[in-house]
Amino acid sequence: MCVFLAYPVLKISGVIPAVAWMPFTLTLFPKPFTAAVFLIVICAWFPVASLTAAGISSTPKTYFEVARTLGAKTPYLVFRVAIPHAMPNIFTGITTANAFAFTTLVMAEMMGQPGGLGYYINASKVWSAYYKVFAAILVMAVLFSLIMKIMGLIQNRVLRWQKGLVRL
């Protein structure tokens, strides 16, 4: 029921890109750090929330009926039936949100947040030190690849029951 109440808010606010929120955040939040955090949260919550809602709502009713027949209460149905069934969708949302958040982080650093690779790229660009820009992009690629590798390891551990299930 809660998923269905939050779904309209999710559909309306999720389609607005983080870049569109930039003027609003600069006026609402006086410090660049809080504006950057707001932008990252805005861009990251939509994929996680929407795919979690889709995963939970796609849980077959028979799973709930069987659990209720065996005496399961509502918390058990949520935490032991619906969320485990939605885990593949949740990890897809987390992976997508991770990519969006990384992009928004660099954008927020370029917006004025002092420090970070985006700030470094902006400063290097002003002085036409393009070798530094390329080096920062290379660092970003390595860092993001490392983060994605760690997320993949966590996903493989949590979803170990899927191993061998999907064949390419």
Token pair listed for 161: 């029951």
Is the pLDDT at 20 greater than 60, yes or no? yes
Domain borders along the chain are 2-162
How many CB atoms neighbour CB 71 within 10 A? 7
Mean model confidence pLDDT for the chain: 86
pLDDT in tens, 139-161: 999 999 999 999 999 999 998 88
Is the pLDDT at 122 greater than 80, yes or no? yes
CATH topology of domain 2-162: MetI-like fold (1.10.3720)
Residue 154: what residue type?
A: I
pTM confidence score: 0.80
Radius of gyration, alpha carbons of the chain:
20
Helices 32-57 and 83-111, axial angle in degrees (round to 10): 160
* CA–centroid distance for 139 within its chain: 21
* CA–centroid distance for 73 within its chain: 30
Q: Can you give the chain as a three-state secondary structure string?
A: CHHHHHHHHHHHHCCCCHHHHHHHHHHHCCCHHHHHHHHHHHHHHHHHHHHHHHHHHCCCHHHHHHHHHCCCCHHHHHHHHHHHHHHHHHHHHHHHHHHHHHHHHHHHHHHCCCCCHHHHHHHHHHCCCHHHHHHHHHHHHHHHHHHHHHHHHHHHHHCHHHCCCCCC
Q: Please tell me the least confidently modeled range out of 71-75, 102-106, 131-135.
A: 102-106
pLDDT in tens, 54-96: 999 999 999 999 999 999 999 999 999 999 999 999 999 999 9
**Portion of the chain with pLDDT greater than 90, in percent:** 46
